[in-house]
Structure 1
Amino acid sequence: MQLDVIERYLPLYGQAALVTLQISLLGIVLALAVGLVGALLREARVPVLSQLVAVYVEVARNTPLIVQLFFIYFGLPKAGVLLSATTSAVVGLAFLGGAYMTEAFRSGLESVGRIQWESATSLGMGRGQVLRNVVVPQAVSRCMPALVANTIFLVKETSVVSVVALPDLVFRAKELIGREYNTPEALVLLVAFYLLILLPISLLGRWLEGRVRHAEFGN
């Protein structure tokens, strides 16, 4: 292990980590939005729309992200839809993550008892108010462990975005190994930077889960 090589590689991995974080953040935020809307549509059982969401969930969860990225980045241009590498990666991550988030939110919504709806309605709340003020907050708190797990999963899935030539952590590691053959140093830094990204997310997730449990059952 050559420490001078690691020192020389650090700035390169730092730049690559920023790319990974950017894609992860944008993709996860969009995935959460897609997941919440999808779960609400499925629970509302809106004709056609709920079936379309169900099909989307099955397609997204049963195809690898790398295949989805190939379709978005290389396939869509054939239909006249041109997306940059960054946009393609974010859309792919949101497409895959949205399906997992949909199921997580749906399980949370299903865990909220019908009595909650009836009690809120008896107080004069409309359906939108019940969802916004009663049902969705409880659903989110109850599916928090699944949301955290999905977030970590999606960050790890960014390891395949290098197929669309994005200079993320994996792209940088492969480039340095192929160019300079310093495999141990490149791989150690790859693992270290993923740990630096994922461990804080994991710890934050545990803290949030604890806060949610305390808020719901602590009293």
Structure 2
Amino acid sequence: MPNPFTVRPGERPGPIKAAVSYLIVVALIIGFFWVSLLQVGVALDFSFVAQYRVRILDGLVLTLEIALGSLVTSLAIGLPVAVGQGSRILPVRYLCDVYVKLMRGTPLLAQIYLFFYIVGTAWGVENRLAAGIIILSIFSGAYIAEIVRGSLNSLDAGQLEAARAVGFTRRQTLRYVVAPQLVSRTLPALTGQLASMVKDSSLLSVIAVIELTQTMQEISSATFNLFGTYLFLAGAYLVLTLPIMFVSRYFERRLDYAHAD
């Protein structure tokens, strides 16, 4: 009799088998934390959700606005940086390279403090929401630049030569050869980056941007319900990020960017 919890190498499990296995895993995780809570004598109370539902919803919406705004702005930063890393002009190439290394090599929390309290103050940036989006965009732009650069480097040089051989201009080559492959190779990773931005936006609470994390911190202080508020916060971020992760996985299968050559 075949084992309902195993699959052959390379085989995709059926929907029922996958659903049952997921439910078992989720039940085990919930059970583990539930036993842990009982061991330390913590009783969870989520009554605050109804009382503060408007504030929670406002924080949730602002978190999404920050993530989407940062995604658009970081794309505007990351795309030219990715191209600049291959520039024949050495100062441009090294500027882009240093930017990527600095942003990826230092923690976002340190960047938030540095850019907001030093650079932002020096240049008169007082709007905390705008500053938060800019800081998150600068940070994420470095990761997007690497995503795009890797996709550009993976393009088959033979296709570019073939495009020139049939008389395509640079614009036509970009439109009909480069752009479609670039989209198929980067879209799954960019979707995953959006999920990271949703989570990273929580650090903007240190400069008092009233997004979801800052909202829950204020509710926790008012209700003295530390464990309930932060467990709810974790669940809220899962509600935001899991659909994005599923979309990213869908794009991976649909576009099959790893075998797009």
Change (3 A) 1:80 1:36: closer
Residues 51 and 132 (structure 1 numbering): CA distance in 2 closer, same or farther, change over 3 Å? farther
Q: Gaps spanning 5+ residues in structure 2: where?
A: 1-43
Give the secondary structure class of the aligned counterpart of 2:90.
coil
| Residue identity (%) | 31
Greater alpha carbon shift after TM alignment, 68-77 vs 194-203: 68-77
1:97 Cα deviation after fit: 0.6
Write the mapping of 1:175-214 to structure 2, written as runs, cut at 5 A. Answer: 175-213=218-256
Would you tell me which structure has more helix in proportion to its own residues? 1
Matching residue of 1:111? 154
Deviations 1:67-117 (A, max 9, x none): 222222211244233241011111111101110000011110111011111
Offset, 1:56: 0.6
Q: Superposition pairs for residues 85-96 of structure 1, below 5 Å?
A: 85-96=128-139
RMSD: 1.9
Cα deviation for residue 200 of structure 1 reads 1.2
- Aligned counterpart, 2:97: 54
Most deviating of 10-19 and 78-87: 78-87
Change (3 A) 1:111 1:9: same
Deviation at 1:127, TM superposition (A): 2.2
1:36 corresponds to 2:74 = no
With structure 1 as the length reference, what TM-score do the two structures score? 0.90
Q: Secondary structure, in 3 states, of the residue corresponding to 2:256? A: helix
Secondary structure, aligned partner of 1:143: helix
Deviates more, 1:55-64 or 1:173-182: 173-182
For the pair 1:75 / 2:118, whether they are aligned, the reply is yes
Residues 13, 193 of structure 1: 8 Å contact kept: no
Q: Does structure 2 conserve the Cα–Cα contact (< 8 Å) formed by 1:31 and 1:95?
A: yes
**Matches of 2:50 and 2:112, distance apart in 1:** 33
Q: TM-score, normalised by structure 2?
A: 0.76
